[in-house]
Every structure is written in structure tokens, then in C-alpha cells.
Amino acid sequence: MALDEIDKKILRLLQQDAHYTLKDIANKINLSLTPVHDRVKRLEKDGIIEKYVTLLDKKKLGNNLTVYCQVTLTKQTYDTSEGFNQAILEMPEVVECNYVSGNFDYMLKIIIPDMESYHHFHQKKLSVLPEVSLINTVFVISEVKSTTVLPI
């Protein structure tokens, strides 16, 4: 499962654009179609390549507000955590949720149309969870960087 330099070149290209054709990639790295094809299939099978997705423009879809929620649970037990996790997985506006170290338990990232939507989310969906004790909101004023590209 070790990656050689050719694998890395392929991954770097595919991270940028999932619609590069095998021919595109083959040309860029000076190989024929066969090895590129075989390597991509291997990378998919090994799970290095997780999936191919389409990224949409959140603002053009009307999602003009991004916020981080720092959530503290009522109890630090397994059941409480699990209950919270399951609830979060059902909420489409929560695009990231991580259990973290520090003064609070979870860091959430929320993408939502506007402040009114956030008010509703906060009051009617998040704070009402029995597992939630405290919510501290950090509002995103301006996005500097957001990438799915991992360094290879």
C-alpha cells in the first residue's frame, strides 16, 4: 500500500479535478493509459481514493452564513456522546463535527442561509438536544481558505 512518486502525481491531479481523463493524466505524467488506469483502480480499491464529489457554490445556493459552534455536553459519558453524535449526523446544515480537547467538547461547522436560520437552528435544533449544556457561537466574517486538497 506504499505510494510511489507516480501514484502521488496521480493523486495530486485527481484531488484538483476529478474530471481529468485518464488521457489527461497519462499525458501530464508521461505514461500510457494502462498504468494510469490500473493505478487509479488500485488506489480506489485500497481506499486511498475515498470518493469523487461535486463542490457547489454555497452562496449561490443561498447559504450566506457560516458559523462554528463550540458545544459542551451535559455529561462526559459514552451514552451522552453517542446520543449527540447521532443527532448531529441527521442535521444537514452541520457539515463538520469533531470531538475535541479543551474548554468545550465539540467543534461544529454550520453552513446556513442567514442569521434568522441560525437563530432557528440554535434554539430549535441544537440547544434543545438533551445532551447539550452550552453553546458558544463563533461567526465567520470572511472566508480566507477552504480546500479539500491534502498535502501529498
Asked if 14 interacts with DNA (CB under 7 A), we say no
Selected from 4, 5, 45, 54, the binder of a copy of itself by CB under 8 A is 54
- Residue 72 cell numbers, joined: 459542551
Cβ atoms within 10 Å, residue 132: 20
Return the DSSP state at 125: I
32 vs 35: CA distance, rounded Å = 6
Treating both helix axes as pointing N-terminal to C-terminal, what angle do 5-16 and 33-45 enclose, rounded to 10 degrees? 80
Nearer to DNA, 12 or 37 (CB): 37
- Residue 60 cell numbers, joined: 449561490
Asked if 37 interacts with DNA (CB under 7 A), we say yes
Selected from 3, 31, 49, 91, the binder of DNA by CB under 7 A is 31
Binding site for a copy of itself (CB under 8 A): 1, 11, 14-19, 46-58, 60-61, 63, 66, 68, 85, 88-89, 92-102, 106-107, 111, 138-152
